[in-house]
Amino acid sequence: MTALRFFRSFLDRLYLAGGVIAALFLIAILVLIVLQMLARWTGAIFPGAPDYAGYCMAAASFFAFAHALNRGAHIRVSIVLNALGPTGRRVVETWCFAIGSALAWYFTWYAVKMAYWSWKFKDVSQGQDVTPLWIPQSAMVLGSVLFAIALTDHLIHVLFSGNHRIDADIVEQSHGE
């Protein structure tokens, strides 16, 4: 039982770390925008700033997926789930998490392949920054792996306990809005 608690704690910290990394990428976007504004005001050139901001936005999105899932920030059709009984709800949630997990792992597989081939062919961006594409794609790969793990974690939890681990307080807040 201690090993399961350790593993559960590890996964929760991993999802939280993804949220923190996403927040850091959002701060990086802010810094890039401010630096670009300062460059314009001083007549300097900051080539590639919009491209770097785009890379940071993609990284922030992918790293935030798992954290948002655990906090109930993803869109869920709760009206259907609330109309079902406990058995029907468990079946529908199992089906949804199974489909979501399968799609997330499928996406992750192809994201890994894309980053690998970008690295192998030394593919660079088309913008002024000429960044090797495997670098921003790696953030997408890590974020999608984290999200696939989170979906699989919830699927396993629904299968064995009958309910998910999504924070109910945030899910419940959206019912009246």
Instruction: Quick: pLDDT tens for 44-81.
Output: 988 888 899 999 999 999 999 999 988 877 776 677 77
* Burial of residue 135 (number of CB atoms within 10 Å: 0-12, 13-18, 19+): middle
Provide the percentage of residues in the chain whose pLDDT is more than 90.
Answer: 58
N-terminal to C-terminal alpha carbon distance within the chain: 40
Distance CA 105, CA 165 (A): 20
Instruction: Quick: pLDDT tens for 1-48.
Output: 688 788 888 999 999 999 999 999 999 999 999 999 999 999 998 888
pLDDT of residue 137 exceeding 80, the answer is yes
Q: Tokens for 78? A: 């709760």
Distance CA 162, CA 87 (A): 8
What is the domain partition of the chain in residue ranges?
Answer: 2-176
**What angle, rounded to 10 degrees, do the helices at 86-120 and 134-161 form?**
160
